[in-house]
Structure 1
Amino acid sequence: MVHPAAAHCVLTAFLCMWVLCNAQSNSGTPVIQLRLAGENRKHHEGRVEVFYNGVWGTVCDDDFSIYAAQVVCRELGFVDAESWSPSAKYGRGEGQIWLDNVYCAGGEKSLAQCGSNGFGVSDCKHSEDVGVVCNQKRIAGFKFIRNQGLTVQVEDVRIRATYAHRKRVPITEGFLEVKDGGKWRQICNEEWTEMNSRVICGMYGFPGEKRFNVKSYKLLAKRRKKNYWGFSVNCTGNEANLATCKLGRAIELKGNSTCGKGMPVVVSCVPGRAFAPSVSTGFRKAYRLEQPLVRLRGGAMIGEGRVEVLKNGVWGTVCDDNWNIRAATVVCRELGFGSAKEALTGARLGQGIGPVHMNEVECSGFEKSLTECHFNRDSLGCSHEEDAAVRCNIPAMGFHNRLRLNGGRNPYEGRVEVLAERNGSLVWGTVCSDSWGTMEAMVVCRQLGLGFASHAFQETWYWQGDSSADAVVMSGVRCSGTELTLDQCLHHGKYVHCPRGGGRFAAGVSCTQTAPDLVLSAQVVEQTTYLEDRPMYALQCAHEENCLSSSANKADASSYRRLLRFSSQIHNNGQSDFRPRAAPHSWVWHECHRHYHSMEVFTHYDLISLNGTKVAEGHKASFCLEDTHCDDGIQKRYECANFGAQGITVGCWDTYRHDIDCQWIDITDVKPGDYIFQWRKKSECTLPLAFYAFFFKIVLTSMLALKH
């Protein structure tokens, strides 16, 4: 039992921690983790802190150099260091000073490989803590490893549902129990508050708490043998996790006489609309999250993404200056999730486009919406490399228990098999591949927690699934891409209609944890836009490829078409290369232009009136996807010359010049006025989820005045 003197310690009793003390890599280099901390800083600068031997500590500025700063920044995922600062510029750290007299040559992979006095050997004070300023650009494809060397699991707290509620999904109400000393124990409710319940509900993926029937639980408590935990808990309500609450007073344990004036704690939570309770036989209703002011984009999993805010009809991002777990929790609860697991900075879940609406956000944790928090409207100095993101707690819905992949070479691919009710029993079966596409595959990958969809397969004869699950049990599946489960998509229900049958034509998917993050440069479009009048006789190839408006079908060869021309520059800011799905042998040859199309329709260009009506459109086929230019240090991988491989490498961009055929919108029939230019991706194309998240219905320029 913990001594009462520890009554105000942080509630670490709820955490099981395994620390790899003095962990060594195969090369003998100590395993460390770095972070930037301190006051008045941006995400790419701060006091250097090192996690070693289970403890965070600082680095002394003695002998520190720009070479050491370069090693630090690269280890944190930045391309380079800009400068370093001695004398605790970002504030004094606390606790251990792990490294002193650090000497780096600049090429080391980790700060632990640099020379020093040794870990913990230092004569410095925290007034000598060193800081660095890194280049804001990220290393292309850099993957963050959270809690390296440290595993934290909250497995010793549970909401134990009563028998009547155990079949409900999710479990939203029950006795709160703590596992201590290998035994589950109750908590006395004599000092329990609604704020404590709020924190518990947030941990389990629920945005709020509610009242419950006290009488029924009192009757149940009288019949149960009691085994109370020895402490009360004191939460303020804005904590993201019970581990950050404080212990209350110690409780004297007297067997069944313990908590004589109270009863075991009961918690009752309110689920978000997307997770409303349903019996375990299925999730029939397609709930949609209402996100009028805030939304998440670019996340691979449910409840994560880049934070975007709606202002004056335009979606924009949030700068990560001062972004913390409280602000992230406000976002999560607003969207119907629980508290935040992580507040992410530095565009960790992709860069947005358009304006940066909010900066230096400060929340108390009790706001109903992020827009109620204090923030700086001036985003001067913020770029999309500083876009804030969140990862939220979500309820345990058991989604993965009703769907599986079978026969694949790895857990991320295979034939899709679903659990369906047939003749009063649950059986596994396949999904008809008619109309099966990327949208459906995205839902499958998300439901299984496998990330993005990389491919949707309509033939799976090469994947030997479970022979007892060959029968088709689901057909006519049509998904919008936002559903949480495949059951929520439109489908034929119990009536199965699959003309091709199952077997080799069963639906399959391939999932991936990473995806391209393609961002169009609005600035390039604005700088290169112009009008051109061109005769029909010079547009025959473009006419064959349907790059002109329908009125061109009846136009005389000597007539002219008015074209809105522009260049497009498409950057891949993601964590994997973008490639056309079709292999070179299936590319389509176009005789008039004398080239192959790797994707028949790569992009759509729309001109929209101010009331939202589309007045003109264009499209661009992909005849050459290649790395036109790359960031410093990135090698080009794709080049169209000599029938080479096509794609866009992470950290590179592809440019389609304004003078290329079909790089336009035919506005011959458009009246003079102000219009909105919209660039979007054709949704039928087989592309990873990140592509849709960033490109569907994006306003590139607020107004384009077209004067005839």
Structure 2
Amino acid sequence: LTRLRLISCISSISASLAGVLLAEDVDTAKLEVRLVGGPNRCSGRVEVLHNGVWGTVCDDQWDLRDAKVVCRQLGCGTALSAPRESKYGEGKDQIWLSDANCKGTEASLTECKARPWGDNVCNHVEDASVECSGTDIPEPGPIRLVGGPNRCAGRVEVLHEEQWGSVCHDDWDLKDAQVVCKQLGCGDAVLAPIGAKFGRGSDTIWLDDVNCTGVEAALAECPARSWGDHNCYHGEDASAICSDSGITASTSVRLVGGPNRCSGRVEVLHNGVWGTVCDDQWDLRDAKVVCRQLGCGTALSALPESKYGEGKGQIWLTDVNCTGTEASLTECEAKPWGVHICNHVEDASVECSVVDIPEMGPVRLVDGPHKCAGRVEVLHENRWGSVCDDDWDMKDAEVVCKQVGCGSPLSALGGARYGRGPDVIWLDDVQCNGTEESIFDCQARPWGEHNCYHGEDADVVCAGN
């Protein structure tokens, strides 16, 4: 056993020197976990995905609190047991995690304290397992969501004849997305984006003209053309965003240049770039959808001719034709993304009834992949400083994401996942209940009082981008 541990240690050091085990190289929002070798998807050997490779978890310090996090992350109910010593068989290749030390409240295994990726003195005889209560959750079946932040949002792909393929967005709406979300056990449909919002598929297009009523148990039960019969291209791939993804309808639209966040020039997010909407055919029904999407009440007016200033860069949408009942502007009929004969003098605006939403406060997210993910920094005495990750959890992240206008939290991360702050550490032992309007309303130690170093800087990943 000593010899095996030594070999494992040497392998770990070699891999680290090769540069494949650096935590900062990981897109933590897309971390995956699975249970292998068990009687169902909610029991088995724990495996995590890192740098595109699946690996096991060592059972050193493995207990029911760690298992609780895995069960929650998989939507498998509560943890019944945390078996050690490879109860569900020995894994192969990498052992990714060891000495996992979860509190039990984390949303993801990566939020738990543990040794660095691949750093362990274990062998596969010590592979950790879990057994969860939720064995009655429906199998995902031959359908998946690809390219999104987690398994409950992304491009819709279906399995047919052992080949994955996408779904064309012709007639795609919230009823179709509802069936997908229910089939995956991801809650209710929030949005049914069209136009390959989560990237274009690379293989066949299996379904077209899907027309679900919303009560079907699987997408394959909905009326549609025959398998593989379509008149589409991958720029028309359909997507679904489900409630369990943490994404809200408001993350893909914003109002700019107005007196508050509920009035201004309409801008929509596409392919990671914000752009404006042309005022051709822009009317109160379109404005009504925008106001509802932002949680801004009813539409008071739909204004043409850049009332709130001319935008820059892309003009994404034109000839928008909403019925007024859609949950999102992207569900309305319109010309394809970026196709128009407009200029920014024609940028559309809206004015909504609600204006009493709090503005963003002195908090920011730094060094992340986009404005809604990064190291949490707060402003105090005209100086930006970081937050220690002691007691940092999803309730704290919920307050921060809301405060910076980035929707719901996807992850509450510690260990300086987005780099170490260069200056003071302002807050420690932050304990929000999740309903506060600002992180400054949460309980914490006095300003500047902590027992931390910048390797413990707190981070968040929010649903907005």
TM-score, scaled to structure 2: 0.37
As a proportion of its length, which structure holds more strand?
1
Q: Which protein shows a greater Rg?
A: 1
TM-score, scaled to structure 1: 0.27
